[in-house]
Structure 1
């Protein structure tokens, strides 16, 4: 329905809507702004819209669970919502949140990988153990909310690797664009992180001879069986790797709400994610998909599948009515 001069009329009730994104300068905030803009244009005048910064991890889930925000974004799309609903693994000791629901996921092909400078002479995790090698390890902030760091601790634990007791140290920053250059600039001799699409990873392997270490088979089995972390492969040739690199999957961004969101609102937000997807994709199409921070295109036939939380009924109704669930 349009008004004068083809201007769309606003419709729907007044809403007060809050989303939790990331630190404020990365992909989750871009997603939050994209959803908010279209929600604003389809809501009654006087509605309010707020975006809160966060880590994208534990605090994002906590704010959703408490009702402080109506929608949150996190990654990976499968394990983190599942853990939160169960009160397991990272969320052990916290009240389970079985009322978390999803609206879908947005694509990012990503891996949690470990790389070390070739001039260290290290060629495997066994070498690190045997030499009790002092890693100067670049990674994220070791804060309570950082689920990636919780997972990294499990990776190192299952490989029998210690940092401080072997004379090593952590070099910390949440933003991979700042963290990865710690190795490029010589402050660190190794890195474990995700966001392998950011240009700083490519700059690193161009400037510094690096070796990506495949996670050991027994460690991968333990990470999967104990925690549900999903084994993956960074393919040969990516970041100049001379072979396939066994690692942990860290893919896709989960869009999460609570079950008490109205069916109409969940339906509307889901419709925005599907029908306005070209606008979000356009932000990333100046890079090829394998290097883009979002792995376009967004696929409505897939984006409701594989999540660690069930679909909200309003989202499910949207996907069914529009033929995306068959």
Structure 2
């Protein structure tokens, strides 16, 4: 890297912009290791679509680095999984690091409805009013739900066809709209009887705690044979919602894993650049972690970033420059 370069990071959303900014600062701060005249730009697009379409945008060279979650989604794209439009070709991506992020899929219905399984909903065609994330390719949650519905032989359109609703407009809290009971967003709609179920990830968020405290909920398990099928077809990782994580979770609930923020890059990104990006991240880690402290118990990072762990469970092969960094610094 003897000539000036432009480095483009796609790190959309409030949480990931913090990460991208710290990597950019590490690369371009005083005594920048990049060639004179180089620049680093941090890009943001629709957050959910960034996780999905962003992988192809990195593969085709629009960006050099990107972030997505969960990591097994990136592996599915790299493997060329075409189901429900994920990609039309195998993507040539490599892992840089995975940030610690606690998250699982949660399928919660009002306890007073007496529903005990997903299969019951679909076989009885119960017209639930479901709040979820952006559907289909608008978000990893939407794509994963398409896979899950398909295992039960239904779709979003089927649910709406028998009188149910599947909407995402309630997902983002509007803190200016507070009910007399002090509730916001989904919690207020559940308490008012305007919503029946929440199928979403982001289980570590304050909004999930608020709704589980506001209304008794039943957290539905994903059946073992369904989890096995999703893993075999798409590489989906199984996990559990741990007992006691939220009110209503009395025992471990089998579900799909959404943990981990993956930073990845194109396979042909210069080894030295990937190494320098991680070196810059290492320098900025104390400052980066302070950016999440204001979120308290509901912060995006589930624990301090330990570079001796961020190369593990990456799903994708590590970029050679990343492996060189981890080994040279004694993290691997």
Q: Same fold (TM over 0.5)?
A: yes
What RMSD, in angstroms, separates the aligned Cα atoms of the two structures?
2.4
- The CA deviation at 1:307 is 1.4
> Structure 2 CA distance, aligned partners of 1:308 and 1:65?
17
Gaps of 5+ in 1: 1-10
Runs of 4+ in 1 over 4 A off after TM superposition: 89-93, 173-178, 286-289
Query: Matched residue of 1:233: which SS?
Result: strand
> Structure 1 CA distance, aligned partners of 2:87 and 2:37?
42
Whether 1:280 aligns to 2:288 is: yes
Correspondence for 2:304 among 297, 302, 317 = 297
- The CA deviation at 1:124 is 2.1
Correspondence for 2:23 among 19, 35, 42 = 35
**Number of the residue aligned with 2:90:** 96
Query: Matched residue of 1:229: which SS?
Result: coil
> Structure 1 CA distance, aligned partners of 2:45 and 2:6?
17
Distance 1:207 1:321, change over 3 A: same
Correspondence for 2:220 among 197, 200, 213 = 213
> Structure 2 CA distance, aligned partners of 1:211 and 1:202?
14
> Structure 1 CA distance, aligned partners of 2:310 and 2:304?
11
The answer on whether the counterparts of 1:105 and 1:252 sit within 8 Å (CA) in structure 2 is yes
Residues matched between the structures, number = 309
> Structure 2 CA distance, aligned partners of 1:202 and 1:314?
40
Return the TM-score normalized by structure 1: 0.86
**Number of the residue aligned with 1:224:** 231
Distance 1:225 1:266, change over 3 A: same
**Number of the residue aligned with 2:206:** 199
Distance 1:218 1:136, change over 3 A: same
> Structure 1 CA distance, aligned partners of 2:203 and 2:160?
26
The answer on whether the counterparts of 2:69 and 2:140 sit within 8 Å (CA) in structure 1 is no
- The CA deviation at 1:300 is 1.3
- The CA deviation at 1:63 is 1.2
> Structure 2 CA distance, aligned partners of 1:50 and 1:105?
18
**Number of the residue aligned with 2:69:** 75
> Structure 2 CA distance, aligned partners of 1:247 and 1:264?
39
Correspondence for 1:172 among 168, 171, 186 = 168
Return the TM-score normalized by structure 2: 0.85
Query: Matched residue of 2:4: which SS?
Result: coil
**Number of the residue aligned with 2:106:** 113
Distance 1:13 1:188, change over 3 A: farther
> Structure 2 CA distance, aligned partners of 1:68 and 1:117?
44
The answer on whether the counterparts of 1:231 and 1:248 sit within 8 Å (CA) in structure 2 is yes
> Structure 2 CA distance, aligned partners of 1:45 and 1:181?
47
- The CA deviation at 1:292 is 2.4
Distance 1:135 1:141, change over 3 A: same
Distance 1:138 1:58, change over 3 A: same
**For 1:165-198, what per-residue CA distance to the aligned partner results, in whole angstroms no more than 9, with x for missing partners?**
32111112495547x9335424421111111111
- The CA deviation at 1:216 is 1.4
